[in-house]
Structure 1
Amino acid sequence: MQEGKWSLDALYPSYESAEYQADLARFEAIFADFEALDITDSIENIKAAIKLLEEYTVLVRRLFAYSSLQLSTDTSDQVSLKAQAKLRKINAAGTAILTKVSQFIGATQIDPASDPDLADYDFYFQEAKQENQHRLSDEVEAVIARMNMSAGAAWSQLQSLLTSTVEHDFKGRSVNLSEIRNLAYDPDPEIRKAAYETELVMYDTIKEPVAFALNNIKSQVIDLADLRGYESPLAKTLEDSRMSQATLDALLEAIKESLPAFRKYFKHKGKLLGHDQGLPFYDLFAPMGSQENSKTYTPEEAKNYLVKHFSKFSPDLADMVETMYQAQAIDYFPRKGKRGGAFCSNLPFIDSSRIMLNFEGSLSDIVTFAHELGHAYHGVQIADLKPLNWSYTMPVAETASTFNEALIMESLLSEADDQEKISLLESQISDTAQIIVDIYSRFLFEDAVFRERQDQFLFSKDLEAIMLDAQKQSYGEGLDPDYLHPYMWVCKSHYYSTGLSYYNFPYAFGGLFSRGLYALYQAQPDGFVAKYKNMLKATTTQSVEDTAAIMGLDVTTPAFWTQALDQVAALIDQFIALTSK
């Protein structure tokens, strides 16, 4: 194992290993067992179906995780591409029988609470009944699953391949997108601007095929939502998210009202950097204040840094970080073929997670590391649940991660002098602006793309115009109109999924929800951790609104969200005051 790379041996030693081959063989055979199930309604038949679904869930998640994680760090890995294609083909062939079994579960008249083996699945049965309302015939569902392999899934792979392999010369060396985007944090303004210009050139070379990918994915989503009786792709996303329209409306209303405070911050930062027309996009992440955070950290130093601060909140969070470090559960550094960004993959079937970073040692990278470790901590809370209760929805998915960010930033601010506070405050405000202002622009963009795609094909120039309009609505006069970013749709993998639309507002939900939780922790620390962990566990078996209610919070009215955003406005005022002296 090379330094800084994760180990996937806990999943499988290799594709050729006896473990992988045995699971693959069982995966191929399990659908015959599904076919043999008796699906007449009885408690015994329901329990048999649930037991087999549990085995299938572990198998499919483990097998797909292995190839998906391999591909995330090497998108051109031919062995993994072939392995994943084979898994998709096997799974697609079993769609018809899985649909029958799901329909059986959703149509049963058996009360799961009447049997101790099923009682934990009460919410699962409720969702199965709801899903039945949108299910198509067995034959149609099977065709959709098979066609998706050469439709939406293929277009998604194309976007991932193009954005991870595109290269360009930058100051005498070849760089990929991850490397060039990371230069947005460089302390040298000339490098930031040059990197931004290079990034735009790189997108220009791949924009049309990526535009085709986006068009065809969104078209497929629109068609399937309509066929299944959803009012819109957004309606489907809300139902899948276990979230009400009232909650989304309250969140968006509060965000829209908060935009003037963020624009004030952008304009002020722009003036500090010598810009009179607002902040140019290439300086959004320009470091400010003390150059303390220009120091670079090794992975071990970053781990020690996080352990120190997390231990003040809960020893088990700090212990988890140590365990993951020792288990080589983190892939740190950018390299050719590795996808951009960062993510955490929860693997409850091995009681662990894997985290991918593009770590270069900055303080911003440490905050990203903390964010992904929050996802892993969420995974710890659900690891002992039954397999069919492992899945939580998008809005609550970002709660633990952004709560971790708050823990780290609050500790840093409490130890800083004025100059350090300027840097830390700016970093925190900048990160928050991304999950509020930029996420709002992404929501507006995706919403507009769904509307426009119903009537016409959107070439790159059309998508660029929609993105620029969304940025103007969101950032307003805070950004320099001559230096926006028309290609932000090219690099964001969240747009390129047939099964996961609108993966933008959950970041805003998670960021603000966690800020509200953190304020509650500061006000009432006694007993908070135990309740917080119970809340994280409940995210897999309750609605967003009911999950928030565990902490005594009402997310269906703008008041909660406004209160959280007011805290950010106070930080902006503090930053402006410190930098105006």
Structure 2
Amino acid sequence: MSGRNYRIPMNFAALKIGAWDLSGLVKDPAGSEFAQFLDSIEGKVKVFEGRRQSLRPDIPAAEFEGMIHDLEDIYEKLSIAGGYAHLRYYGNTASNEASALVTRMDKMAAEAGNRLLFFDLWFKKELDESNAARLIESAPDVYREYLRHKRLLAKHSLSEPEERIINTLEVTGTGALVKIYDKMTSAFEFEMSLKRGRKKKVTRKFDNKEKLVSLVRSASPAEREAAYRALFATYKKNSGVLGEIYQNIVVEWRNEGISMRGYRTPISVRNIANNLDDETVDALLAACRKNNRVFQEYFREKARLLGVKKLRRYDLYAPLSTKRSGKKFAYGKAVASVLDTFGDFHPQVRALAERVFSERHVDSEIRKAKRGGAFCHTVAPSITPYVLLNFDGRTRDVSTLAHEFGHAIHSMLAEKLPIMVSHAPLPLAETASVFAEMLLNERLMEKMSRQERQLLLAEQIDDMYATIMRQAYFTLFEIDAHRAIGERNATIDQVTQIYTENLKEQFGGSVAVSPEFGWEWIYIPHFYHTPFYCYAYSFGNLLVLSLYQRYKMEGKPFVPKYLGILAAGGSRKPEELLKESGLDITKEEFWQQGFDLVGEKIQQLKGLASK
């Protein structure tokens, strides 16, 4: 049904924006070939169900491993069918046909998952410790951490009938709520009003959120403020429905995770899924909270550079130069710059990125009803990842391109791993993406004047704030919001007040925050899609600062170590994998090193500004 498309020679600098080609996954979702493909999945599920009696304590290791391989075959085929449906839907969220296919594929995957649950539950809950240890030690190395992690999850697993009910209700429960959130917010239209002179008022309408949000980096203070006001006015107007969706997601997360599965806290559900210890995440968040003053110092310096007494929250991402903010990059030139950056680091990294373009797995154009933002999606290890962009030619779009292709490279480096262990856990999943951005920025800076370096350095620190401190405070908000909703039935207005207090702590007295920013939380899709996801960005960015320093010190000998970390995918526990490179992420002191480097960059910026 799928396979790697043929590669053709390309002039990357001449590339134009366009849509991706999904035909390598499914040629015609209404055709007989796709129907036969789905039938083959059903047949494999039936065969696997028939092997249930094989699951006895003394099952031979080879037979157990064979069953894992059979499961992987089923999951890969389900991933292809479901991946196609979701990618098609993200390309046009207004398509009822695409939406219906997503529902159909999600339902099929949930039903298949229910029928296959017995294997997972047997290994996690029914098998005794001695035989579990025997099977783990007999398994190939690549599966051992995966199997150990399954045993760790055992105490949070329910009975087979209960797990079946949860899987079934996911499609029409939380999954449906998230789908409604996406469908609503993708269809939002925004009206931005700007004053021109004393009396004239100009109104601009946007049917694509990305176009509007790009203006928060405008050189015009009035335009930045108007863009934010338009954005949050629309979300506030819909806060009754969007807020209730969030409340229900939080209640469901708590009911299942704590009441039914016995996790210690709501965030523990995510931590254990990430194969991270609670103490590691606690150390990360404590370090971030302790270092909010680092970015507060930067905001005061940025206010000075902009010539204002104090930054407003509207001005957080303001460019330091009007000229630079207006610069546009042709898509092909941006692609070529990113590829050249990757090639300088290592030829293999460039070759992997080129493969994504040559197989037409990139959707880069902005269009109505297309999902906003950017992402990289890996359907299966054997299939080149798909990258969604909304490329508008801004400097940020070039960085985003490098970021998402970092994800793709990470995935392709792990493509020889089985599907069960190929995906890195969330905290490590941001490592390659952020590292790729740093490589790009370093390359750009080498060819710049002092003033241009100052501007880019400020943009880098803006990004560090956005991907470290902002994400950590998102997570701290989620901790408080889940507690307030779960324990006190907090109203939507009370959750908004919690978010407002979160902003006050984060910025201290360095930034003036207007009341409408209290509604920002309903605009953050990660809170809905993947609760407690956001600390992965903080983790990944602070980790990369340390890895990048190693690269600068060691040079080319560092590259194989770095690629080795990426190639491990999800086959190793993060604490153990990183400890081999001398990184102890369980200690607050480790995370402090990252903030020390941020502080150094702020001092560099001050030094450039004083020359």
**Fold shared by both chains (TM-score > 0.5):** yes
Greater shift, 457-466 or 353-362, is seen at 457-466
Q: How much has 1:18 moved relative to structure 2?
A: 4.2
Question: What amino acid sits opposite 1:544 in the alignment?
Answer: P
Distance 1:420 1:316 in 2: 31
Question: What amino acid sits opposite 1:495 in the alignment?
Answer: F
Distance 2:171 2:439 in 1: 42
Partner-residue secondary structure (3-state), 2:420: helix
Q: Is the 8 A contact 2:381 2:411 kept in 1?
A: no
Which residue number in structure 2 is paired with residue 280 of structure 1?
Answer: 312
Task: Find 2:528's aligned residue among 469, 490, 496.
Answer: 496
Q: How much has 1:254 moved relative to structure 2?
A: 2.2
- Rate the CA distance shift 1:145–1:209 in 2: closer, same or farther, 3 A: same
Question: What amino acid sits opposite 2:355 in the alignment?
Answer: T
Q: Is the 8 A contact 1:178 1:341 kept in 2?
A: yes
Greater shift, 266-275 or 541-550, is seen at 266-275
Spell out, residue by residue over 1:469-510, the C-alpha distance to the aligned partner (whole angstroms, 9 max, x if none): 11111122222133661222222221113xx42111110110
Q: How much has 1:257 moved relative to structure 2?
A: 2.8
Partner-residue secondary structure (3-state), 2:291: helix
Q: Within the alignment, does 1:63 sit opposite 2:73 as a pair?
A: no
Aligned 1:344-363 pairs, distance under 5 A = 344-363=376-395
Greater shift, 254-263 or 40-49, is seen at 40-49
Q: How much has 1:381 moved relative to structure 2?
A: 1.2
Which residue number in structure 2 is paired with residue 124 of structure 1?
Answer: 146
Greater shift, 378-387 or 289-298, is seen at 289-298
Q: How much has 1:282 moved relative to structure 2?
A: 1.7
Distance 1:283 1:72 in 2: 31
Cα RMSD (Å) of the superposition?
A: 2.1
Structure 1 runs of 4+ aligned residues shifted over 4 Å read: 113-116
Q: Within the alignment, does 1:234 sit opposite 2:267 as a pair?
A: yes
Q: Is the 8 A contact 2:424 2:569 kept in 1?
A: yes
Task: Find 1:538's aligned residue among 568, 577, 588.
Answer: 568
Q: Is the 8 A contact 1:46 1:105 kept in 2?
A: no
Spell out, residue by residue over 1:288-344, the C-alpha distance to the aligned partner (whole angstroms, 9 max, x if none): 147346321122111111112221111111222222222222111222112221111
Which residue number in structure 2 is paired with residue 569 of structure 1?
Answer: 599
Which residue number in structure 1 is paired with residue 199 of structure 2?
Answer: none
Partner-residue secondary structure (3-state), 1:391: coil
Aligned 1:300-319 pairs, distance under 5 A = 300-319=332-351
Task: Find 2:42's aligned residue among 8, 25, 28.
Answer: 28
Question: What amino acid sits opposite 1:168 in the alignment?
Answer: F
Which residue number in structure 1 is paired with residue 55 of structure 2?
Answer: 39
Q: Is the 8 A contact 1:439 1:507 kept in 2?
A: yes
Which residue number in structure 2 is paired with residue 168 of structure 1?
Answer: 190
Greater shift, 220-229 or 555-564, is seen at 555-564
Which residue number in structure 1 is paired with residue 30 of structure 2?
Answer: 16
Task: Find 1:203's aligned residue among 220, 235, 239.
Answer: 235
Q: Is the 8 A contact 1:185 1:287 kept in 2?
A: yes
Task: Find 1:49's aligned residue among 55, 63, 67.
Answer: 67
Which residue number in structure 1 is paired with residue 107 of structure 2?
Answer: 89
Distance 1:547 1:477 in 2: 40
Distance 2:308 2:399 in 1: 28
Task: Find 1:147's aligned residue among 169, 183, 186.
Answer: 169
Which residue number in structure 2 is paired with residue 518 of structure 1?
Answer: 548
Which residue number in structure 1 is paired with residue 326 of structure 2?
Answer: 294
Partner-residue secondary structure (3-state), 2:191: strand
Distance 1:333 1:467 in 2: 33
Aligned 1:317-466 pairs, distance under 5 A = 317-466=349-498
Q: Is the 8 A contact 1:11 1:350 kept in 2?
A: no
Distance 2:433 2:467 in 1: 12
Distance 2:454 2:556 in 1: 31
- Rate the CA distance shift 1:462–1:30 in 2: closer, same or farther, 3 A: farther
Q: How much has 1:119 moved relative to structure 2?
A: 4.5
Of all paired residues, the percent bearing the same amino acid is: 26
Spell out, residue by residue over 1:496-555, the C-alpha distance to the aligned partner (whole angstroms, 9 max, x if none): 13xx42111110110010110010011112322211111112241111111212322111
Q: Is the 8 A contact 1:371 1:401 kept in 2?
A: yes
- Rate the CA distance shift 1:59–1:92 in 2: closer, same or farther, 3 A: same
Distance 2:114 2:337 in 1: 50
Q: Within the alignment, does 1:551 sit opposite 2:581 as a pair?
A: yes
Spell out, residue by residue over 1:155-213, the C-alpha distance to the aligned partner (whole angstroms, 9 max, x if none): 11111111111002343433332221111122222221211111121112221111111
Which residue number in structure 1 is paired with residue 217 of structure 2?
Answer: 185
Distance 1:47 1:437 in 2: 43
Distance 1:546 1:517 in 2: 16
- Rate the CA distance shift 1:384–1:505 in 2: closer, same or farther, 3 A: same
Partner-residue secondary structure (3-state), 1:486: helix
Task: Find 2:499's aligned residue among 455, 467, 483.
Answer: 467
Q: Is the 8 A contact 1:158 1:210 kept in 2?
A: no
Distance 1:417 1:507 in 2: 31
Question: What amino acid sits opposite 2:29 in the alignment?
Answer: Y
Greater shift, 538-547 or 250-259, is seen at 250-259
Distance 2:346 2:324 in 1: 27
Q: How much has 1:128 moved relative to structure 2?
A: 2.0
Distance 1:340 1:552 in 2: 38
Distance 1:95 1:310 in 2: 39
Provide structure 1 residue ranges, at least 5 long, that are not aligned to the other structure.
none
Question: What amino acid sits opposite 1:67 in the alignment?
Answer: A
Distance 2:382 2:568 in 1: 21
Q: How much has 1:2 moved relative to structure 2?
A: 9.6
Q: How much has 1:280 moved relative to structure 2?
A: 1.6
Question: What amino acid sits opposite 2:155 in the alignment?
Answer: Q
Provide structure 2 residue ranges, at least 5 long, that are not aligned to the other structure.
1-14, 193-202
Q: Is the 8 A contact 2:114 2:167 kept in 1?
A: no
Spell out, residue by residue over 1:14-65, the C-alpha distance to the aligned partner (whole angstroms, 9 max, x if none): 3124442222222333332232013224125413421221112201211111
Q: How much has 1:115 moved relative to structure 2?
A: 5.1
Q: Is the 8 A contact 1:539 1:547 kept in 2?
A: no
Q: Is the 8 A contact 1:112 1:122 kept in 2?
A: no
Q: Is the 8 A contact 1:349 1:383 kept in 2?
A: yes
Distance 2:31 2:209 in 1: 34
Distance 1:179 1:458 in 2: 34
Distance 2:285 2:446 in 1: 31
Distance 1:87 1:175 in 2: 29
Spell out, residue by residue over 1:66-110, the C-alpha distance to the aligned partner (whole angstroms, 9 max, x if none): 111112221122122211212222233334432211023332716
Q: How much has 1:253 moved relative to structure 2?
A: 2.6
Partner-residue secondary structure (3-state), 2:172: coil
- Rate the CA distance shift 1:55–1:236 in 2: closer, same or farther, 3 A: same
Distance 2:152 2:285 in 1: 26
Q: How much has 1:114 moved relative to structure 2?
A: 6.3
Question: What amino acid sits opposite 1:549 in the alignment?
Answer: K
Greater shift, 24-33 or 126-135, is seen at 24-33
Partner-residue secondary structure (3-state), 2:480: helix
Greater shift, 45-54 or 299-308, is seen at 45-54
Greater shift, 310-319 or 503-512, is seen at 310-319
Q: How much has 1:567 moved relative to structure 2?
A: 1.1
- Rate the CA distance shift 1:119–1:257 in 2: closer, same or farther, 3 A: closer
- Rate the CA distance shift 1:3–1:234 in 2: closer, same or farther, 3 A: closer
Q: Is the 8 A contact 1:155 1:213 kept in 2?
A: yes
